[in-house]
Every structure is written in structure tokens, then in C-alpha cells.
Amino acid sequence: MTQADGAPTLSPYISEADIQARILELARQIDADYAHDEDIVLVGVLRGSFIFLADLARRMTVPHHVDFIAVSSYGSGTVSSGVVRLVMDLRTDITDKHVIIVEDIVDTGHTVQYLIRTLAARGPASVRTCALLRKLDRKVVDVPVDYLGFDIPDAWVVGYGLDYADRYRTLPYIGVLEWGAEE
């Protein structure tokens, strides 16, 4: 994506009502799948997933723990470097626990691949992934998304926890940011 000078324009893409309806469906699915499991840990990937995780966790009825992990794979722009670094680790010991990684968006797949490998090495009972959004056209590595909100085309999306340069996170809906194509 090129970013010409000037302010980007924001267009609504997924409404608040559609997001909330889909989250309820995901929570119902997780409740059913984990009905007989104890020690479920939702691992929110900071910072983009904090609003999604808060809504998902409150819609779930199976008891679960919540913890957070932070990774960084991007510089200040919108292009993935492909190199993922652990910035903040979990406080929970996930040995023998059922881990659900909660991501805002799967783009190239590098971040989720890194997280699955890193957390699977700690002896959990299981590791699954839940992502609100996935950009199929951008896939570089194949990663399983067990619980998916929406597949979206290749665009820079913001809102509902997702930012651009730390802006737009608190929008209740998902919008697409576009920069003018002028030279």
C-alpha cells in the first residue's frame, strides 16, 4: 500500500451491529466446543484485540481465564516485516490448559504462526485461534483460524481496536482507510 501525503479517508465497512452479531455466534461456538473443558485461557494479542476480546469474553458462558501477550511485527507503517518479536509475555502458566489465541486480524499469518509455535512449546492441553478478521489475499503462511469473524479483502482497516498510528481504535465499527492515489 502506498501512502500519499495527506489525510486518509475513512469509509464504514463492517457495522457495529454486524460485528456484535458475529461475536455472539463465535461465543456460542466456543461455548459448545469447550463445554466439557476446564482451564480455558483466552490470550488476547495486544494491542489490537483488546476490544474484541472484551466483547467475546463477556458473550462466552464457559468459565475462562484472560491473559494478554504483546508482539510486534510492524514498524510504524502498514507493511509487515515478517519478523515477529515478543514484547510482553503472559503471566499465566498455560501448561495443561486450553489456549485460545484471540487476534484482531490475520494478515500475512506471521504473527499467528509465531504465537502458535511459541505457546504450543509450553505444554498446553490445546491451542486454537480466534480472529475477528482475515485478509485472505495477503496470506504468506498458512495458519489455522478456528474461529473467524469475517474474511475481508486487502485494505487497511481500522476501528474496533484496530489503529492507524494509534488513531481510530475506539470506533465501534470497522472502517477502511484509503490514501489518495494522486502522485
Helix (H) or strand (E) holding 117: helix 110-120
137 and 22 in contact (C-beta within 8 Å)?
Answer: no
107 and 137 in contact (C-beta within 8 Å)?
Answer: no
- How far CA 162 is from CA of 5, 65, 87, 111, 132, in Å, comes to 21, 23, 18, 15, 11
Chain residues 8-37 in contact with ligand 5GP, contact rule CB under 6 A: none
CA quadruple 44, 132, 125, 139: dihedral sign: negative
Taking CB under 6 A as the criterion, the residue among 102, 108, 116, 147 binding ligand 5GP is 108
Closest CB to ligand 5GP among 162 and 171?
162
The least CB distance from residue 33 to ligand 5GP, in Å, is 23
DSSP 8-state class, residue 93: -
Residue 101 interacts with ligand 5GP (CB under 6 A): yes or no: no
The mark string for 54-93 relative to ligand 5GP (x by CB under 6 A, - otherwise) is -------------------xx-----x-------------
The least CB distance from residue 38 to ligand 5GP, in Å, is 29
Catalytic residue among 18, 55, 107, 163: 107
Closest CB to ligand 5GP among 98 and 110?
110
Catalytic (active site) residue 107: yes
130 and 136 in contact (C-beta within 8 Å)?
Answer: no
- How far CA 137 is from CA of 106, 152, 153, 154, in Å, comes to 11, 9, 7, 6
Residue 132 interacts with ligand 5GP (CB under 6 A): yes or no: no
Count of residues of this chain found to bind ligand 5GP when the rule CB under 6 A is applied:
20
Residue 163 interacts with ligand 5GP (CB under 6 A): yes or no: yes
179 and 8 in contact (C-beta within 8 Å)?
Answer: yes
Residue ranges that bind ligand 5GP, judged by CB under 6 A:
45, 48, 73-74, 80, 103-111, 156-158, 162-164
Active site residues: 107
